[in-house]
Amino acid sequence: MLSTVENTEGKPVADIDLRKEFSEVGIGEVLEQLDRELIGLAPVKTRIREIAALLLIERIRQRMGLSAETPTLHMSFTGNPGTGKTTVALRMANILHKLGFVRRGHVVSVTRDELVGQYIGHTAPKTKEILKKAMGGVLFIDEAYYLYRPDNERDYGQEAIEILLQVMESQRDDLVVILAGYGDRMDKFFASNPGFRSRVAHHIDFPDYGDSELMWIAELMLKEQNYHFTAEARDAFARYIEIRKTQPLFSNARSIRNALDRIRLRQANRLVADLDRTVTADDIQAIDASDILASRVFDKPSTPEGKS
């Protein structure tokens, strides 16, 4: 059946079954995967779904001949470390690929060091090489504000910025750039580089996790590795989270993963300390309160991560 709507060429536009289109492109699977991978982050997930819906409609508009140009898809992810920015970038690349907005759907993740050279003539080839690798996918620039160092007259970051801005505009149908970092620093970065702000269409803020969400993350991480907390250990880890969040260098889910690595280390040493015993599967899987309470976090609140 043909609708009465005509496209830019004056031809009638065929109707499209929206549910069928949604199912065939497979973005529902990606969104479900994101829900499984990330605890909480409801505002982030809502925004990703909104962007996916926008791109689905844009894809349909293009097929109908109703779109005049490729939409701007560059993004900014702001938030503290360990809040899922890299994971969301990977899933967004998958969505963009399934909907036909990037050719390959891969993610090239870099920091300033991969883009900026140390001497004259070094920055341009480094930046262009990274852009070449990222073409057809997503370039994820973590802590993007370090590209701009106005206090250093001999800094070459501005050259990388100019190249990035040019490519973000001229190659936006073949590359999506995601700039990431702390919210306040990214605000200053955009204020100092209006060219970036004008090219970034979607700004997504990643909130910190709450205590209950961090516990949920910890238990999922343990389950994936066939471990579990005893009841006493769970209470101890809840206390660990409460204290650790007040200390320097806390990085949300990343700090939880690091803490569990150290807890598993202590559990293994506790078991091996008595080689004459017979261990059961439950012994091997169970995390005891003592494995957690041995952390220096409990007697030295100022101890930074990695020392506990």
Q: What is the pLDDT of residues 97-122, one digit of tens each?
A: 999 999 999 999 999 999 998 888 88
Q: Between 8 and 209, whose confidence is greater?
A: 209
Tell me the C-alpha to C-alpha distance, in Å, between residue 194 and each of 127, 186, 199.
Answer: 20, 12, 9
* β-pairing verdict for 12-14 and 75-79: unpaired
On whether the CB atoms of residues 80 and 182 are closer than 8 A, the answer is: yes
Rounded to an integer, the average pLDDT of 72-86 is 95
CATH of 211-298, one of 1.10.8.60, 3.40.640.10, 2.40.10.220, 1.25.40.420: 1.10.8.60
pLDDT for 303: 54
pLDDT tens track for 216-269 = 999 999 999 999 999 999 999 999 999 999 999 999 999 999 999 999 999 999
Mean pLDDT of the chain: 90
pLDDT for 14: 76
Query: Residue 298: pLDDT above 80?
Result: yes
pLDDT for 10: 56
The H-or-E segment that residue 225 falls in is none
**Residue ranges covered by each domain of the chain:** 2-206, 211-298
Report DSSP state, residue 33.
H
Instruction: State percent of the chain over pLDDT 90.
Output: 73
Tell me the C-alpha to C-alpha distance, in Å, between residue 245 and each of 241, 251, 289.
Answer: 6, 9, 19
pTM for the structure as a whole: 0.86
Q: Domain 2-206 carries which CATH code?
A: 3.40.50.300
pLDDT for 257: 97
Query: Residue 25: CB partners within 8 Å, gap ≥ 6?
Result: 56, 59, 98, 99
